[in-house]
Structures are given as C-alpha cells and as structure tokens.
C-alpha cells in the first residue's frame, strides 16, 4: 500500500499533468498574468487568455475559473511556463471567449491566508475579479463561470456576489454541501479522501517542488519575490485534515476559525444566489460522491433557471462508471468529453452571447439510466409517475414486498471492520481516480448482513432517492451503518447501484429542515446528538444517494448492510466491535423504500 506522502505526491502530479492535455490550435492564445487587488488589499494572481486570432479591437465575454489548485505552473529550474490550458479552456477560446483563471486567496501565487474552504471572504473576492474584468479594454462587459470540483463550487458561489455582469455559470461535479459531500458524509469522517486531499493542497500552498513544478509567477514578478511573499502567507492556512477530523458536528466551529460547515456551503448563500437569477448548467454523476444529490437539491430548492446533466462517470466526467459496463478497466465516458464541451458552449452562447440555439428549451434534467445504459429526460424531479414501493427485511435473508408477521424475529450482525467499497469508490474518485470494481460485490456481500428478493417477474425501474428505515439495537452507544443497494444477476453476480449511511449518534430526524431533500434529513448538530442505549431498539432512517437504474426481469434486488467502509471512513466506534441486532417483525419492521417508475409497454 502506498504511504500517505506517496498518495499526496501521486495526486498532485496527476492534477498538474492534467493541465497539459490540450488539442492543437491554429492560433496560440495570448496569455498574460497580473495581480488584481481586492477591496481588503489582498493581491490575487490572475491569468487572462485571449483567442490568438482575435482582432485588436474585439470585445469579448469572459469565462472565469476560480481555482484552489494553481491557475498555472512553471518549471522550477528554468521558470518556463507549463501549458496551462486544458481541452475545456481551449474550446471556450475557440468559440470567442476570454478565459480568466484565478488563484483564490491563500493559494497558488495569490496573497492571503485561508480560514476555511469557500469562506465568505473568498466568495466576496469574486465581485472584485468580475469588476476588474469588465473594466478591461477587451471586455464586452459580460461574464460567466465554469469549473469542475472545487472550481465548480466557486462558479456557483460567484453568483452570490450579485454582480450584474454575471450572466451564466456551469458548476461541474461540485459539492453543494461540503459536510455531506465530501468531508463528513453520513456524519462520518471521510478520512482517506480528506487526508489525501489535505496533503495535496498543503503541498500546493507551500509551492512544494515535490509536485514536479512551481506555481506560475505573474508577469511582473521576474525574480519570484512576490510569489515567495505570497507563499509565506500561506503558512497560516489551516491543516484541512486536522480541521475536518477535529469536528463531530456541523454547527461546531472549525479549529482556528469562527466558521462552521453551515457557513461554507451553497445553502448559506441561497438568498443571494436566488436573487441573482443567474441560470446554471450543472454536471454531476450518480457515482461521484454526493454530487448528484447536491445537483438535485439545488434544482428543487433554488429558483434559478437550471439544466442538469446526471451521468454515470468518475469525478469530472472523464471515465464511464456504470457497474453494468465497467469492471476493473477504465472506459471512455458517456457522454464523451466533446459532447460535454458542446453542451457548455451551447449554454454559454445562449445566455451570454444571446445566440438563439434552443438551449433554454432543453429538458431541465437529463439523466443516465444504469442497466438500460442510455440517457432519459424529464422536465422536473422526481420524474412523473414515481411511486414508492417498500421492500421488507424478512427471515432467511429475504427482501420482500410483503410485511413481516408479528413474531418473525431479528438478525444479529457483528460489525466487520474490513468491509469496504474498494479503493476506486465514489468518494476517492474526487481525487481524480476512476470508479472501478463495483461490478461484482459478492465477496464483500458475504461479510455483510444481506436481504435479497426473489427473482423479478418483470423489469424494475428505480429512479430517485431510496430511503431506509431500520429498527436496530447495538451493544455500543455509537457506531456507523451503511446500506448498499445492489442488482443481483441470475449468475449470482451483484452490482453496486448506490449507497447511504449514518453515524448512529446523528440519528435524530429533523421535523422541518427548511428545504426539499427527498427523504429524512439529519441536522448533524451537537444539540441533536443522541447516543444509543445499548440493547435498546432505535429507529434509524436515512436516504441513500439518488440513482436511476433498470433491474432486468430474472434479476434480484439486494440490500447489503455493514458497519464500516474501511476504504474511506474512520472507524466508529474507535475501539470495540459492536454487535447490531436488526428487528424484522410486525412491531419493528425494517425496510427500504424504492422510488419506482412504471415501465410502459412496448
């Protein structure tokens, strides 16, 4: 197994090398680097790329990418810049946009110290960048924003500034609520991802030569002294791993900061984002952390015009991830990168340039249907005709639509802390890894508590957010619970479809969360913490991540229940091995609610 430092280095190098992937272009862009000073006096490093074939008096709209991962890099020995524009950037340039890339405060070659990721100050800096852009001689006064992952989130949050020049944004594979995805999903510490990411950004903030490069200086910084001064200020940045691992509750202040997770998410800015009225084209994946749920939450709760593409890909849309097709080999994405680019260009052309190309008439939700392996469309979410079907845990490991009789009993399960979703799971794909190995879960299923239906007598279409209700007791006051939804073929091969989970301490369900979540919501607040009473049955309710999948006739539906995912989450409890008892009788029925769409007759 790689050491932590090796993982950090691999992640950093992979990220930086990705910047150099670009198509040939007839006219190389004009790239200039500047410092832009914010209202509080902080200097942010900015690169402006203009199409190489533009005329001197041409006025252009700008697309902004506000990044945590260096806007560009250079050779640390020679100072020669590395290629900094990827295939997306080149495509936008070729369609007549200026591309503006910014090191957010406290990162890259920018000055400042970070208090948290996506801090309110970082968000407010976006206004200053837009204001600087619209004053440039090449600007036509119109601005959009785009990005993947961190930069996808900053694209959305830019709208919260309310700057009137912002006409459209396209958040890609972004995290709508960083507590729920990717920092502490289910109230659990996603240690493997966070500590890997923390090491990666720490290297970048230090301008560590182990990355194989150096953050690019601005043009005026010939001797590198300005960059050195900026990097020195980054020494005050918090250790992300220590900060995230140091809080157990969403309302708890992050170490060294006055901020909580509630202050650094899109919901915090809901009023301002809605007031902007800025339309959004959102990309996400069913199998990429919680990005699909975040996209659907935004769609349901924010009034901004929105169009969503829900794929079955890795983080960033670079590889296919459907467990019906993908095993242990990386396959091209569906839809292709070129098709994804075309969607964004069409969107920006309409809402920024005013091109009448029909972008606003597209279906608002386009989603990939696993199993059927094609895209479907809907004007809203959930799609019309969804009905809830309960399937109950029954004796003998059966999953049945028939409720259990009064005295059917219970099942005991001793937690196996070696159970995992593998190293290429939905959470670690956020470090740029493909999603692999979810096509045959039999070996792990044997280590979990499973309930499997009889063979289906007709195809089953699941589209939406499954919800589980478990009647559970434990020998310990705290623990974790995971539920995996799987498709079991006639050959016994089980394919992962989606998952959900909960730290049992957080089991209290909110009466009114104040937003639509398609299922029970937990506050994860300290005041709502509710330790288990050992041996006493408690009701545990939670959502699984949303999914759309068709399970064929002759296949079976399975839920697999575990108390750990060793590949990603910290162990709860830290010591001891709980034994859980799952009740499955009339008084204490345990079940999953599946959102089912009737399949029309051919």
Q: Say whether the peptide bond before residue 183 is cis (omega within 30 degrees of 0).
A: no
Q: Is residue 322 part of a domain?
A: no
Q: Is residue 315 part of a domain?
A: no
- Based on the fold, state whether residues 217 and 92 are members of the same structural domain: yes
Give the chain's mean pLDDT.
95
pLDDT tens, residue by residue, 558-601: 999 999 999 999 999 999 999 999 999 999 999 999 999 998 87
**Which one of 47, 125, 263, 288 is the catalytic residue?**
288
Lowest mean pLDDT among 15-24, 227-236, 384-393, 409-418: 15-24
- Based on the fold, state whether residues 117 and 250 are members of the same structural domain: yes
Please compute, for residue 577, the number of CA atoms within 13 A of its CA located in the half-sphere on the CB side: 7
Interatomic CA distance for residues 353 and 270, integer angstroms: 26
Inter-residue contact 347 to 170 (CB < 8 Å): yes
Judge whether 221 counts as a catalytic residue: no
pLDDT tens, residue by residue, 447-494: 999 999 999 999 999 999 999 999 999 999 999 999 999 999 999 999
Q: Is residue 127 part of a domain?
A: yes
Judge whether 28 counts as a catalytic residue: no
Instruction: Produce one character per residue of 293-326: b if its CB has 16 or more CB atoms within 10 Å, e if not.
Output: bbbbbbbebbebebbbbbbbbbbbbbbbbbbbeb
Interatomic CA distance for residues 129 and 134, integer angstroms: 9
193 pLDDT more than 60: yes
Helix (H) / strand (E) containing 245: helix 240-245
The pLDDT assigned to 80 comes to: 95
pLDDT tens, residue by residue, 321-370: 999 999 999 999 999 999 999 999 999 999 999 999 999 999 999 999 99
Q: DSSP for 160-216? A: GG--TTEEEEEEES--SSTIIIIISGGGS--HHHHHHHHHHHHHHHTT-GGGSSEEP
- Rg over CA atoms, the chain: 24
The residue among 215, 248, 276 that closes a domain is: 276
Interatomic CA distance for residues 72 and 99, integer angstroms: 13
317 pLDDT more than 90: yes
pLDDT tens, residue by residue, 139-178: 999 999 999 999 999 999 999 999 999 999 999 999 999 9
pTM of the model: 0.95
DSSP reduced 3-state for 541: strand
| CATH assignment of the domain containing 139 | 3.40.50
Strand order in the sheet with 280-285: 30-37, 43-50, 98-103, 60-67, 139-148, 166-172, 280-285, 306-311, 365-369, 374-378
The residue among 212, 242, 276 that closes a domain is: 276
Q: Is residue 2 part of a domain?
A: no
Q: Is residue 313 part of a domain?
A: no
Total structural domains within the chain: 2
* CA proximity to 369, closest of 494, 550, 595: 550
pLDDT class of 602 with cuts at 50, 70, 90: low
**Which one of 84, 119, 149, 590 is the catalytic residue?**
149
Tell me the average pLDDT across 268-283.
99
Q: Where are the alpha helices (DSSP H) in 87-175?
A: 87-94, 120-134, 150-158
* CA proximity to 367, closest of 548, 158, 522, 147: 548
SS (H, E, C) 488-521: ECCCCCEEEEEEEEEEHHHCCCCCCCCCCCCCCC
47 φ, ψ (degrees, to nearest 5): -110, 135
* CA proximity to 310, closest of 371, 384, 372, 364: 364
Torsion sign across C-alpha atoms 451, 457, 459, 462 = negative
Tokens read off for 143: 């601005």
* CA proximity to 142, closest of 124, 154, 127, 130: 130
Tokens read off for 15: 């990220």
Q: Is residue 511 part of a domain?
A: yes
Interatomic CA distance for residues 111 and 397, integer angstroms: 59
Interatomic CA distance for residues 72 and 32, integer angstroms: 11
DSSP reduced 3-state for 285: strand
The pLDDT assigned to 6 comes to: 42
pLDDT tens, residue by residue, 16-47: 434 333 344 448 999 999 999 999 999 999 99
Q: Is residue 16 part of a domain?
A: no
What percent of the chain has a predicted confidence (pLDDT) above 70? 96
The alpha carbon of residue 497 and the mean position of all alpha carbons in its chain are separated, in whole angstroms, by 17
Tell me the average pLDDT across 499-526.
98
DSSP reduced 3-state for 429: helix
The pLDDT assigned to 25 comes to: 44
Whole-number Cα distances in Å, 19 to 6, 66, 91, 95, 96:
20, 15, 14, 20, 21
- Based on the fold, state whether residues 247 and 390 are members of the same structural domain: no
72 φ, ψ (degrees, to nearest 5): -170, 165
**Which one of 163, 234, 315, 588 is the catalytic residue?**
315
Residue 320, C-beta contacts closer than 8 angstroms, at least 6 positions apart: 312, 313, 326, 331, 332, 333, 334
Interatomic CA distance for residues 314 and 526, integer angstroms: 34
* CA proximity to 194, closest of 239, 137, 138: 239
Please compute, for residue 282, the number of CA atoms within 13 A of its CA located in the half-sphere on the CB side: 32
- Based on the fold, state whether residues 261 and 119 are members of the same structural domain: yes
Judge whether 86 counts as a catalytic residue: no
Q: Which residue has the higher pLDDT, 408 or 50?
A: 50
The pLDDT assigned to 407 comes to: 87
CB atoms inside a 10 Å sphere around CB 255? 13
The pLDDT assigned to 18 comes to: 41
Inter-residue contact 59 to 201 (CB < 8 Å): no
504 pLDDT more than 50: yes
Interatomic CA distance for residues 600 and 254, integer angstroms: 51
Crossing angle (nearest 10°) for helices 87-94 and 337-351: 40
The residue among 214, 246, 276 that closes a domain is: 276
pLDDT tens, residue by residue, 291-304: 999 999 999 999 99
Q: Is residue 368 part of a domain?
A: no
What percent of the chain has a predicted confidence (pLDDT) above 90? 94
Residue 155's domain comprises: 28-276
The alpha carbon of residue 379 and the mean position of all alpha carbons in its chain are separated, in whole angstroms, by 23
pLDDT tens, residue by residue, 198-257: 999 999 999 999 999 999 999 999 999 999 999 999 999 999 999 999 999 999 999 989
Whole-number Cα distances in Å, 273 to 188, 201, 243, 390:
29, 27, 27, 37
CA dihedral 463, 301, 118, 507 (to 10 degrees): -70
DSSP reduced 3-state for 449: strand
């Amino acid at each position: 197994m790689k050491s932590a430092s090796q993982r950090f280095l691999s992640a950093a190098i992979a990220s930086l090398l990705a910047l150099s992937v670009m198509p040939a272009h007839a006219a190389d862009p004009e790239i200039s680097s500047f410092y832009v000073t914010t209202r509080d006096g902080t200097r942010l490093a900015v690169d402006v790329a203009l199409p190489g074939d533009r005329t001197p008096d041409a006025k252009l709209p700008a697309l902004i990418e506000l990044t945590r991962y260096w806007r560009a890099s250079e050779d640390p020995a020679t100072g020669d810049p590395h290629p900094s524009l990827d295939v997306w950037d080149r495509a936008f340039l070729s369609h007549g946009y200026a591309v503006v890339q910014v090191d957010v405060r406290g990162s890259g070659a920018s000055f400042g110290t970070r208090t948290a990721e996506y801090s309110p100050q970082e968000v407010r800096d976006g206004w200053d960048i837009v204001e600087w852009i619209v004053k440039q001689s090449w600007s036509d006064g119109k601005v959009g924003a785009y990005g993947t992952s961190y930069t996808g989130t900053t694209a959305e949050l830019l709208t919260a500034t309310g700057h009137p020049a912002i006409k459209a944004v396209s958040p890609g594979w972004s995290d709508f609520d960083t507590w729920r995805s990717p920092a502490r999903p289910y109230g659990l510490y996603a240690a493997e991802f966070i500590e890997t990411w923390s090491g990666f950004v720490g290297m970048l903030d230090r301008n560590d030569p182990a990355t194989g490069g150096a953050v690019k200086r601005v043009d005026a910084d010939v001797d590198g002294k300005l960059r050195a001064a900026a990097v020195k200020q980054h020494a005050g940045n918090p250790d992300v791993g220590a900060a995230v691992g140091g809080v157990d509750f969403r309302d708890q202040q992050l170490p060294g900061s006055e901020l909580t997770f509630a202050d650094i998410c899109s919901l915090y800015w809901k009023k301002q984002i809605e007031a902007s009225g800025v339309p959004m084209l959102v990309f996400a994946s069913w199998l990429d952390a919680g990005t699909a749920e975040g996209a659907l939450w935004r769609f349901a709760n924010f009034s901004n015009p929105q169009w969503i593409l829900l794929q079955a890909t890795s983080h960033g849309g670079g590889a296919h991830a459907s467990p019906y097709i993908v095993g242990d080999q990386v396959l091209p994405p569906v839809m292709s990168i070129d098709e994804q680019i075309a969607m964004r260009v069409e969107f920006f052309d309409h809402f920024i340039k005013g091109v009448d190309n029909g972008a606003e008439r597209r279906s608002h939700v386009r989603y990939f249907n696993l199993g059927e392996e094609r895209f479907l469309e809907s004007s809203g979410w959930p799609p019309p005709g969804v009905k809830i079907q309960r399937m109950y845990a029954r004796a003998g490991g059966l999953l049945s639509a028939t409720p259990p009789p009064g005295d059917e009993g219970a099942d005991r399960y001793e937690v196996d802390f070696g159970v995992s979703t593998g190293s290429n799971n939905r959470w670690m794909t956020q470090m740029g890894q493909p999603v692999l190995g979810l096509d045959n879960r039999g070996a792990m299923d044997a280590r979990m508590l499973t309930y499997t239906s009889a063979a289906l007598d007709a195809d089953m279409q699941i589209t939406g957010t499954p919800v589980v209700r478990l009647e559970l007791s434990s020998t310990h006051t705290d623990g974790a619970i995971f539920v995996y939804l799987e498709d079991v073929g006639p050959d016994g091969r089980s394919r992962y479809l989606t998952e959900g989970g909960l730290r049992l301490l957080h089991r209290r369900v909110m009466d009114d969360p104040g937003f639509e979540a398609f299922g029970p919501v937990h506050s994860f607040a300290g005041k709502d913490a509710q330790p288990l009473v050992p041996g006493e049955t408690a009701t545990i309710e939670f959502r699984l991540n949303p999914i759309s999948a068709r399970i064929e006739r002759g296949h079976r539906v399975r839920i697999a229940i575990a108390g750990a995912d060793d590949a990603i989450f910290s162990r709860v409890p830290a010591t001891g091995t709980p034994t859980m008892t799952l009740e499955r009788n009339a008084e204490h029925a345990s079940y999953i609610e599946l959102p089912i769409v009737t399949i029309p007759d051919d």
